[in-house]
Copies of this chain bind each other. A is one copy, B any other.
Amino acid sequence: MAVSYNYMLQSVRFSPKTSLFISSDCNGYSHKGRNRHISFVSTERSDKGFSADPKVDTLLDNIKWDDKGLAVAIAQNVDTGAILMQGFANREAVATTLSSRKATFFSRSRSTLWTKGETSNNFINVHDVFLDCDRDSIIYLGKPDGPTCHTGSETCYYTPVSDLLMKDKAEENRLALTTFYGLESTIAKRKADSAGTENQKPSWTKRLLLDNNLLCSKIREEADELCQTLEKNEDKSRTASEMADVLYHAMVLLALKDVKLEDVMQVLRERFSQSGIEEKRSRSSQKSGKD
């Protein structure tokens, strides 16, 4: 049985006219440089001004639009979880997002529909759309083609209140990063800190970055210790701790190789699509002869 991702969608067609065409696998996702136009739905104008098939109309009817016909729309990076930007969507914006698979909003200042990326080419390729329990807030879960913010920042959220409160002005932009990506950023900073280490005891991270033998021996050791928590039936907290060690040391290796966690996540996402596991199995079989 193939393992498929929860948000991996299946190809379904309703009728020749109003097809509900949903990407069949990871290859259907839009990536930079490709202009695939696989969509959730085909769209047509109707009495309501903008419509698609009847199911989409029903869906749009069910969203709780505010007194201006808007709902909050949040774009989130499917691989990293980063909140890319937040805008507002009206009926047409959601319908357009569903049909084009590009995150589309309604600009309150300009009173127009706008698709993120229409000028910068940094589209957000939407994999799925989620409504909240009240149906007045929407997540566009997708993959950005490039930096989302008009300033060139990866996301629009680079102003931490803590910095503003500690200083008159934040010295540098600092993205809202969650644990995994905050650690990645810290390791990258240690890597960049080549100067200033001569006169002080280098950090453990810096030592690992400077000594491939040490780093690789630690990665192998930590993987072994993670396995031992299963083999020796150690407690859960020990497993969590050893997994944290594996992640941290492996992330130092990623930093040395200039590989981003986001790239690793993309590999995972593409691999674990419909028949990903079977593909992996056959690769493993060829490689190790173990199965």
Interface set of A (CB-CB < 8 Å, partner B): 1-7, 9-10, 12, 20, 22, 40-41, 55-56, 59, 72, 74, 76-83, 85-86, 98, 128-135, 137, 139, 141, 149-151, 153, 156-162, 164-166, 174, 176-183, 185-187, 190, 193, 197, 200-207, 212, 214-224, 226-227, 229-231, 236, 239-241, 243-248, 250, 253-254, 256-259, 263-269, 271-272, 277-278, 280-281, 284, 288, 290-291
Contacts and interface: CB of A to CB of B under 8 A. Distances in A.
Contact of A257 (B156, B239, B246): B239
Contacts of A181: 81
Contact of A204 (B135, B217, B284): B284
Given A72-B72, A83-B139, A203-B278, 5 more contacts: A1-B200, A85-B132, A86-B137, A128-B176, A204-B278
Given A6-B186, A290-B217, A86 B132 contact: yes
A22 B166 CA distance: 9
Given A160-B130, A203-B2, A277-B204, A254 B272 contact: no
Contacts of A258: 236
Given A161-B98, A291-B207, A284 B178 contact: no
A128 to B, nearest CB: 5
B55 A165 contact: yes
Contact of A59 (B40, B59, B164, B277): B164
List of 8 A-B pairs having minimum Cβ-Cβ separation, nearest first: A81-B81, A223-B223, A216-B227, A129-B161, A132-B156, A130-B176, A204-B281, A244-B267
Nearest to A245: B280
Contacts of A217: 290
B230 A259 contact: no
A153 B130 CA distance: 14
A159 B136 CA distance: 12
A188 to B, nearest CB: 11
Contacts of A133: 149-151, 153, 156, 158-159
Given A250-B246, A258-B236, A277 B81 contact: no
Nearest to A225: B287
A74 to B, nearest CB: 6
User: Max chain B CB contacts within 10 Å: which of A79, A98, A186, A288?
Assistant: A186
Nearest to A133: B156
Contact of A206 (B1, B41, B153): B1
The interface centre, meaning the residue of A86, A128, A131 with most chain B CB atoms within 10 A of its CB, is A86
26 contacts: A1-B202, A3-B205, A5-B179, A6-B177, A6-B182, A7-B160, A7-B162, A12-B166, A40-B161, A59-B161, A74-B86, A80-B178, A81-B82, A85-B132, A130-B176, A131-B161, A133-B150, A204-B278, A204-B291, A216-B230, A223-B246, A241-B267, A243-B250, A243-B264, A244-B267, A246-B250
